[in-house]
Amino acid sequence: MSVEYIQVAEDYSDEPIELPLEPDDNTLLLSTLQGQFPGATGLKYRNPENKAIRGIRLNDLKLHAPGCGWDGLVYYCVFPKDSVSENKRKSDDVMENVSKSKVSKCQTNKCTDLIVLGLAWKTNEQALREYFETFGEVLMVQVKKDAKGQSKGFGFVRFSNYETQLRVLGQRHHIDSRWCEVKVPNSKEGQIQQVPCKVFVGRCTEDLTQEDLKEYFCKFGEVTDVFIPRPFRAFSFVTFLDPEIAQSLCGEDHIIKGVSVHVSNAAPKADGNRNQNYGNSMNSRSQNYAGNSAPYNNSNYRNEFGGRGSGGGNSNGSSSNMSSGGGQNSNFMPNNPNSGGNAWGSGGNNGNNSSSNNNNRGNLDMPNLQALGINSGGNPGNQSGSGGNMNNPLGVGLNALNLPMNPAIVAAALNQWGLLNGMQGQGNNDQGPNNQPWNQQQQRNQNAPDKTNFM
């Protein structure tokens, strides 16, 4: 029987190449796919009948033909997180040209040994190497063994390319019929730079879509996520696969669809973004990082403005800010020294009558003016709710005339002016030019936007 081939392309715009099917069952081995497309985890194709994208069944490391057979169609690779970055792979080519120097620069000293947990007992170093070589050049593999030479079920791998490392860290791994977990080993923890992958994009206009941003920023490197707060808040977050790319863009102005946006660093999330683990938890093993490392742990005020997820969206904002009390404090980390009579918690806004409370809608992403010491008085009995944007985190100080102000836009603007960053760590000390009225009234308003909660 002769070997049959199917056409597989990395992306819709790429030229397909032919991959051989298994003669016995007409399947495509995942390993065959990965041999040509390192990191690919599956296939998809466009159904000619209804134009919908269909996924190919993957079972036992084999990709199975659709019901009607492979049928001469072109199949496209699926990569992890494909849904949010459809042209991510394309950006590799761009990176070759655009920022190769940045990439190679950041690759130095960035690769580290990675621990591979959950290996099958039978998996040896050769198998491990063969598996990981589908992602990129492997400098070292080890399988740890006991005195008798029996595998301990874990090992180490080191890549030469940092992109490869990130990619490997970002997905699950099926090796010798077991799902394995690849992580930065504890021993290396803290030694790894924790450069944020996410940037804050200020001065966005409402017509800048996710696609616009992705399309624009993928010129610089692989974009793994674009987050635009809804409703519109004049900024967004763009996450790159490579933190160095993100870093390199910070401080720059960019023109996207005629809009001048400003890129700056997004404050790191409280527990850091270690491991670049894009939400792919392995197996059922949960990794408990509580209390270990995470430099931000103690400052982890997760003020979610009335408790994210509590009580639904409240998007019409009709009622007042009911959840501010307990909801706030309960969001603090248990070991947070502030969690008692803390700041940022309830305190301020009892009796807040904001009518259409613009700010209390699961505010995930705004720069934390409070933490930066820029917010206004706590407004006990704040009656500012006359328009569309009460609870102005800049409060009376900045907005002395009580003009309607959208805190998001203010935040974006401040960020753009460098005020946010400049003030970071400054607390509410009255220093120099930042000694503004709003700085002197440090009561806490839980509705201030928070840039620190977004990574």
Identity of the residue, 51 or 148, whose beta carbon is nearer to DNA in the bound complex: 148
**Token pair listed for 386:** 């006359």
**Minimum distance from residue 142 beta carbon to DNA (Å):** 6
Please give the sequence-ordered ranges of beta strands (E in DSSP) within 184-298, or none if there are none: 198-202, 223-227, 235-240, 253-256, 259-265
**Minimum distance from residue 163 beta carbon to DNA (Å):** 20
Alpha-carbon distance of 274 to 266, in angstroms, equals 15
* Residues contacting 431, CB < 8 A, separation 6+: none
Helix (H) or strand (E) holding 423: helix 419-423
**Minimum distance from residue 254 beta carbon to DNA (Å):** 38
Identity of the residue, 153 or 404, whose beta carbon is nearer to DNA in the bound complex: 153
Alpha-carbon distance of 170 to 128, in angstroms, equals 17
Alpha-carbon distance of 239 to 253, in angstroms, equals 17
User: Is residue 156 within 8 Å of 140, Cβ to Cβ?
Assistant: yes
**Token pair listed for 99:** 């920022």
The CA-atom distances, in angstroms, between 13 and each of 7, 8, 71, 77, 423 are: 13, 12, 20, 12, 45
Residue in 331, 326, 384, 377 with CA at minimum distance from that of residue 355: 384
**Minimum distance from residue 275 beta carbon to DNA (Å):** 9
User: Is residue 275 within 8 Å of 190, Cβ to Cβ?
Assistant: no
Alpha-carbon distance of 184 to 355, in angstroms, equals 48
| Positions in the binding site for DNA (CB under 7 A) | 112-113, 115, 117-121, 140, 142, 144, 146-147, 150, 152-154, 156, 158, 178, 183, 185-188, 285, 287-288
What is the torsion angle, in degrees rounded to the nearest 10, for the CA atoms of residue 77, residue 78, residue 81 and residue 84? 70
The CA-atom distances, in angstroms, between 298 and each of 3, 303, 333, 454, 455 are: 60, 13, 8, 17, 16
Identity of the residue, 182 or 419, whose beta carbon is nearer to DNA in the bound complex: 182
Give, in degrees to the nearest 5, the angle at Cα 265 between 375 and 450: 30
Identity of the residue, 175 or 218, whose beta carbon is nearer to DNA in the bound complex: 175
**Minimum distance from residue 155 beta carbon to DNA (Å):** 9
Identity of the residue, 117 or 245, whose beta carbon is nearer to DNA in the bound complex: 117
Find tokens 């009558």 and name the residue. 353
Identity of the residue, 77 or 143, whose beta carbon is nearer to DNA in the bound complex: 143
Identity of the residue, 205 or 277, whose beta carbon is nearer to DNA in the bound complex: 277
Identity of the residue, 70 or 156, whose beta carbon is nearer to DNA in the bound complex: 156
**Minimum distance from residue 115 beta carbon to DNA (Å):** 5
**Minimum distance from residue 145 beta carbon to DNA (Å):** 7
**Minimum distance from residue 42 beta carbon to DNA (Å):** 24
**Minimum distance from residue 103 beta carbon to DNA (Å):** 23
Identity of the residue, 38 or 118, whose beta carbon is nearer to DNA in the bound complex: 118
